[in-house]
């Protein structure tokens, strides 16, 4: 079994860019040929917003996290576990990648607890059992994991996709890359930072340089780096070829440094 395991988290605009998705899966196919085991974790906020609007529902966010009333969950789970997940599986297949779509609670891979009550049906997920993921990886499959989980009572919950990627990386003891709409995390001088530690990140958040959805992304990356005891990469989905440098020492994007 390969000791090279990579978790890639995607979301945002890439999910609406068919060519970009195809390019990403072509790179994934190349990495798999190099015996890299890969799992893909995705969100789908843009599509959720669109479907909620069509249903006449208003979606709000708090500190980058979506407030999720119970009435919104059928739409959110349908978008993430249904349309987005299965479209990604189909796109992977077109690129010659054998993929299987799963949710966070499939195979008891993770457990979830309710997050803050004012956020509604939003869960905090924890690693539980990597058996299903490892079985898929050992069979040469690409697990495509949507950010829908389940509470102990069986209720479905919306999980922040960045947090979900952290947990999957913990389960697999994997390298983790966040593919975003930008080249990395930008500093006060509007230049992409090559590295970012906890102290500098909190300073930039306090100054409002890191704001909105990037706050949750950076905090998730800091948590991942610390819990995994390794750096986490944040880079653009527009240049997926950079992923081929993961195991050759190449530099790209921003490296989030663990707080150890």
**Where in the sequence numbering do the catalytic residues fall?**
9, 12, 45, 162, 217
Taking the mean position of all CA atoms in its chain, how far away is CA 250?
22
Report the C-alpha gap between 168 and 43 in whole angstroms. 14
For tokens 């599986």, name the residue. Answer: 89
What residues pair up with 186 in beta bridges, in sequence order? Answer: 192
Strands 195-196 and 254-256, bridge-based pairing: parallel
Q: Give the 3-state secondary structure of residue 94.
A: helix
Contacts of 83 (CB under 8 A, 6+ apart): 47
Region label for 61, one of left (φ > 0), alpha (ψ between -120 and 50) or beta (otherwise): beta
Taking the mean position of all CA atoms in its chain, how far away is CA 2?
22
What the block records as the tokens of 256 is 């989030």
């Amino acid at each position: 079994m390969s000791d090279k395991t990579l978790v890639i988290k995607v979301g945002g605009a890439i999910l609406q860019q068919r060519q970009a998705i195809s390019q990403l899966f072509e790179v994934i196919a190349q990495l798999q040929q190099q015996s890299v085991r890969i799992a893909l974790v995705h969100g789908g906020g843009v599509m959720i917003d669109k479907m909620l609007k069509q249903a006449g529902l208003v979606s709000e966010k708090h500190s980058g996290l979506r407030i999720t009333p119970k009435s919104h969950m059928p739409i959110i789970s349908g978008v993430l576990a249904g349309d987005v997940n299965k479209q990604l599986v189909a796109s992977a297949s077109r690129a010659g990648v054998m993929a299987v779509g799963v949710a966070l609670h499939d195979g008891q891979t993770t457990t979830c607890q309710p997050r803050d009550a004012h956020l509604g049906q939003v869960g905090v997920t924890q690693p539980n059992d990597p058996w299903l993921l490892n079985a898929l990886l050992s069979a040469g499959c690409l697990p495509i994991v949507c950010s829908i989980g389940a509470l102990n009572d069986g209720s479905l919950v919306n999980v922040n996709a960045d947090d979900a990627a952290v947990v999957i990386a913990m389960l697999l003891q994997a390298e983790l890359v966040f593919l975003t709409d930008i080249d990395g995390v930008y500093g006060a001088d509007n230049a992409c930072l090559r590295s970012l530690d906890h102290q500098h990140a909190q300073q930039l958040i306090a100054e409002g340089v890191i704001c909105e959805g990037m706050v949750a992304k950076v905090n998730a990356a800091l948590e991942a780096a610390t819990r995994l005891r390794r750096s986490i990469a944040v880079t653009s989905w527009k240049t997926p070829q950079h992923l081929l440098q993961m195991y050759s020492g190449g530099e790209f994007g921003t490296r989030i440094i663990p707080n150890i």
